[in-house]
Chains A and B, each alone.
Chain A
Amino acid sequence: MFKNKYLISSLALVLLAGCATENMGPVPEASKTGVGPTDAELIGDQASTDNVLTYGMGYNQSRYSPLRQINKSNIKKLTPVWTAGLDNDFGEQAQPMIYDGVMYVSNAKWTVAINALTGHQIWRTPTNFVPETPRVVCCGVSNKGVALYKGKVFRTTLDAFVVALDQKTGKEIWRQKAAEWKEGYSQTVAPLIANGVLVTGISGAEFGIRGFLDGWDPDTGKKLWRRYTTAGPGEKGHDTWVPPESHLNGGASTWITGSYDPELDLMYWGTGNAGAWNPVNRKGDNLYAASVIAVKPKTGEIVWHYQFVPNDAFDWDSLWELILADINVDGQKRKVMMQMNRNGFLYVIDRTNGKLISAKPFGKVSWATHVDMATGRPVESDESKKLRAGGEIEMWPSVRGAKNWPHAAYNPNTGLLYANTNHQSSFYRFDKLEPFKPGMRYQGIANRYPPVNPGDVVGHVEAIDPLTAKAKWRVPLKDHQNWTALLATGSGLLFNGKHTGEFYAMDADTGATLWEYRLSSGVNSMPVTWTHQGKQYVTVLAGYGGLYGQASRARFPSVPLGGSVWTFALRD
């Protein structure tokens, strides 16, 4: 009897492993030294469901897991198995990472290691960020997550330090200053390990910073390279800044982790809005603001770039996830990257060379009529001309974008993107731009939002075809937007969250809600799914915060602050 049972469960494990490898390539060998993850494990992260090692659940950032154990027919049995408190009221946005049965979670205050099976805290290490730093943080004090590599945990701090901790003890191994927070620089970005280099971005394009990427030696913390994202004197693209010194406060932050193609050995990082928002002091295209840059991780060299918005005057950050996929375009398999841009267009780009393949609007857009496929440039509308002439316009989408950072997921089997989108305009005009002062807001814009009335549709959850940008289905969001990254699974589920605290699972074919559980605070983070000894788990952080949380606090009076980790599994 017992023998049979054992056999059956072994068989189930084999089948599960079979599912896991579908479409995903071979499962990488685990680190033999026990000091990992290794490069091979990072590259094979999506196939190896026992670990979660990369931002976006795979270097391609598709936030897709092949797991099928939790599915539409048994989702009602999904139950919390443990929770862990985080003692943090600033809000939780991070993606948890899991390696070897240990979960690593970060927020602005702490880095925490937790036993992934019991929820017991193993260690936690304070970041000790300078308490005055939030003054230069535009959009919610937070942190997007850690990176794991060869026995260390890497993270950024709000006051712009890059830190390496020991995975086992949480003890700090090295700490490097990335920039001076008093000059408007801050960090919330999760680092990226690519080809053995630790790469970090920067925030601060609302404070007139000059954006950059940094490459660090993960072992020692030695800085290997810096690549500024506004082109300086002697560099290609510097002529797009008029006057030439305007690049020094030109923005182009890098606050969302790039994706990485190990075969091409290229990282893809989006860049933020140009600074100041008001373009009065910077004529020209302003490279590489509001762009994607393809960067060599070993050297920081920019191999190609594509600029979404030349002379950005709208806060059109182009930082959101650049999802890598190989898709059929006109009968041909193309290596592409896809981005649902803040500006309302869904860009599909050849990731080998930066050539634009498609750019269709996925939301209501009034600032441009379309993107010219020959030049790759948006064709600004009469509304935008009115804006540039000094008028106030009702701009679609609002400056918060047709989609903000909460990441989309992409299911390679359906070929669809799934995302929480925004449906909102704002009244927008240029205002007097005060002279640049380090560490002070540098925007020169007047922006106000029309009131939201009860029952108003303010966003959607939607399934979108990347090449047409048409929704296969869309579920309207009334009263409140969702600011949670989506997670798609091989069983056709989407996991999503609300600021009111509901964590829920949707049918990826229809958008119907199949399961819901209210957590202890709002959800504005990044769910993950993983396995241990053949059992599937889902983990998400609760903890009201972020830009939308901060800006809308008065509309959520009954949602308590306070961070915690929640792990779910099917009950027996």
Chain B
Amino acid sequence: MALYNGKVYRGTLDAHMVALDQKTGKELWKTKVAEWKEGFSIVGAPMVANGVVVTGVSGAEFGIRGFLDGYDPETGKQVWRRYTIPAPGEKGNETWPKSDAWSHGGGSTWITGSYDPQLDLMYWGTGNAAPWNPDSRPGDNLYTASVIAVRPKTGEIAWHYQLVPNEMFDLDANWEWIIADIPHLGATRKVIMHMSRGGFLYVVDRTNGRLIAAPAFEKVNWASHVDLSSGRPVETALSKQFREGKQIELWPGQWGAKNWAHAAFNPETGLLYANTMHNSRLVRKLPPGEFKVGARYQGFENLPAPREAGRPIGHLDAIDPLTGKHKWRVPVQDTPSYSSMLATKGGLLFNGKATGEFTAVDMDTGATLWSFKTPSGINAQPITFTHKGKQYVTIQSGLGGTGVLRMGDFFQGQPRNGSVWTFALTDD
């Protein structure tokens, strides 16, 4: 949701934007964003930036053409639309073949962008290219798997940086782009930071889109490194084998070295804190078939890879953004965590587990200090706030999302109903 001037804004699964009255919950306007039957849906939270309600869209597994929309918060009237894939005649369309591939090329925008009010720029990550199999779309395929810096008033793209040209492993670049001013080579740099699905941690100058650093933070075998002068990943021989149609064991697996569950950044420690994943998959490209509106459009075989006993399936990590090095990491053996992290000045991290525990973790060591089992699994985003000087922590419990689908039969029978939990210190 987003709140602004007495209203509550949200997207709906069937791709509408809705404004409700904050006091009563009554609907004030409802605007159709896209046609769900064509594969579009909305799960991301809208963003209000410089007086405009901005929403993204999901559907890159269904061959959509991604976009951002700006709406008038008062009336719900569309102010602009910025497709994340340029049409013929627009700059960047030359990165697509001369077919209609651009018109169903993916580039979804399902995670809310960040916003720098001083620069008046929003930073939105874009999703994978479609179909996953790249054979039908030679070229870089702008602006898929990219970050775009967008003017909220007009939708104009001020600059872009593409993380993965001609992306082929579902390497969404949607995850949070954390804004910070950090020291680098003796200067304070205005940056955005992103722990990518592909396993590299990108630090980008947010004034101009120049890459500053891109170290790996997890095991990566699809690219040897990111070339800092060109900003392009250097694909390995393994990736070439994949392009030739061979099955490969891909690190990180298609779920990513990190999925959407957001990292937190503490400006005092200068570290990022995140639930990461340590997993490979056996992948191979397949013919995606003809594009059909509203149907899956992927062309990808994605199988479990052998996993040696005792190998962690993920970690809770504290990471230096410029080096990708871990200050500490706590291995996770049972279930991957799809909970966002909350960091506090009090030196705590709040985290959640699919088995229901809401936990507080020592930011300096990763040790769990407190835990409470909520009625269902946690795959949400904790927050903390104060009222009359007292601090509260709130989290939603309710197993779901992409994580639960992958956690095996055990979770299929676990309770899934949602509830809101608010915690505070006891008085004595």
Is B428 in contact with chain A by the CB < 8 A criterion?
yes
Is A123 in contact with chain B by the CB < 8 A criterion?
yes
B414 x A121 contact (CB < 8 A): yes
* Distance, CA A173 to CA B244, complexed state (A): 55
Is A283 in contact with chain B by the CB < 8 A criterion?
no
Is B385 in contact with chain A by the CB < 8 A criterion?
no
* Distance, CA A124 to CA B426, complexed state (A): 34
B372 x A85 contact (CB < 8 A): no
Is A77 in contact with chain B by the CB < 8 A criterion?
yes
Is A304 in contact with chain B by the CB < 8 A criterion?
no
Tell me the chain B residues, 287-311 only, with Cβ under 8 Å from chain A: none
* Distance, CA A84 to CA B355, complexed state (A): 10
Chain A residues within an 8 Å CB radius of B374: 83
Give B419's nearest chain A residue, CB to CB: A520
Is A86 in contact with chain B by the CB < 8 A criterion?
yes
Q: Categorize the interface residue count of chain B.
A: 10 to 19
Chain B residues within an 8 Å CB radius of A118: 373
* Distance, CA A473 to CA B138, complexed state (A): 83
* Distance, CA A86 to CA B418, complexed state (A): 11
Which one of B355, B415, B426, B428 lies within 8 Å of A85 (CB-CB)? B415
Is B375 in contact with chain A by the CB < 8 A criterion?
yes
Chain B residues within an 8 Å CB radius of A81: 372
* Distance, CA A119 to CA B375, complexed state (A): 8
* Distance, CA A123 to CA B428, complexed state (A): 38
Is B70 in contact with chain A by the CB < 8 A criterion?
no
B413 x A77 contact (CB < 8 A): no
Do A85 and B373 contact each other (CB < 8 Å), given the known contacts A77-B428, A562-B417?
no
B413 x A85 contact (CB < 8 A): no
B419 x A562 contact (CB < 8 A): yes
Tell me the chain B residues, 374-428 only, with Cβ under 8 Å from chain A: 374-376, 397, 413-417, 419, 426, 428
Interface string of A83-104 (1 = CB under 8 A from B): 1111100000000000000000
Which one of B373, B416, B417, B428 lies within 8 Å of A120 (CB-CB)? B373
B419 x A87 contact (CB < 8 A): no
Measured between C-beta atoms, what is the minimum distance from B416 to chain A in Å? 6
Is A386 in contact with chain B by the CB < 8 A criterion?
no
Is A311 in contact with chain B by the CB < 8 A criterion?
no
Measured between C-beta atoms, what is the minimum distance from B275 to chain A in Å? 20
Measured between C-beta atoms, what is the minimum distance from A450 to chain B in Å? 31
* Distance, CA A571 to CA B425, complexed state (A): 12
Do A82 and B372 contact each other (CB < 8 Å), given the known contacts A119-B356, A120-B356?
yes
Most buried by A among B372, B413, B414, B426: B413
Do A121 and B415 contact each other (CB < 8 Å), given the known contacts A82-B372, A84-B375, A520-B375?
yes
Chain B residues within an 8 Å CB radius of A83: 373-375
Measured between C-beta atoms, what is the minimum distance from B143 to chain A in Å? 41
Which one of B372, B413, B415, B426 lies within 8 Å of A86 (CB-CB)? B415
B416 x A87 contact (CB < 8 A): yes
Is A411 in contact with chain B by the CB < 8 A criterion?
no
Is A80 in contact with chain B by the CB < 8 A criterion?
yes
* Distance, CA A83 to CA B378, complexed state (A): 13
Interface string of B338-376 (1 = CB under 8 A from A): 000000000000000001100000000000000011111
Chain B residues within an 8 Å CB radius of A120: 355-356, 373
B373 x A82 contact (CB < 8 A): yes
B373 x A121 contact (CB < 8 A): no
* Distance, CA A110 to CA B414, complexed state (A): 12
* Distance, CA A155 to CA B165, complexed state (A): 60
Is A352 in contact with chain B by the CB < 8 A criterion?
no
Measured between C-beta atoms, what is the minimum distance from A49 to chain B in Å? 23
Measured between C-beta atoms, what is the minimum distance from B424 to chain A in Å? 12
* Distance, CA A124 to CA B270, complexed state (A): 45
Chain A residues within an 8 Å CB radius of B356: 84, 119-120
Which one of B355, B414, B419, B428 lies within 8 Å of A564 (CB-CB)? B419
Measured between C-beta atoms, what is the minimum distance from A27 to chain B in Å? 30
* Distance, CA A77 to CA B415, complexed state (A): 28
Is A79 in contact with chain B by the CB < 8 A criterion?
yes
Measured between C-beta atoms, what is the minimum distance from A81 to chain B in Å? 8
Chain B residues within an 8 Å CB radius of A564: 375, 415, 417, 419
* Distance, CA A76 to CA B413, complexed state (A): 36
* Distance, CA A364 to CA B385, complexed state (A): 50
Tell me the chain A residues, 522-572 only, with Cβ under 8 Å from chain B: 562-565, 571
Measured between C-beta atoms, what is the minimum distance from B369 to chain A in Å? 14
Interface string of A22-45 (1 = CB under 8 A from B): 000000000000000000000000
Contacts A84-B415, A564-B417 known; list 12 others, CB within 8 Å.
A76-B428, A82-B372, A82-B373, A83-B373, A84-B356, A84-B373, A85-B415, A85-B419, A121-B414, A123-B413, A564-B375, A571-B426
Q: Can you spell out 25 A-B residue pairs with CB atoms less than 8 angstroms apart? A: A77-B426, A80-B372, A81-B372, A82-B373, A83-B373, A83-B374, A83-B375, A84-B373, A84-B375, A84-B415, A85-B376, A86-B375, A86-B415, A86-B417, A87-B416, A87-B417, A118-B373, A119-B373, A120-B356, A121-B413, A121-B415, A124-B415, A520-B419, A564-B417, A564-B419
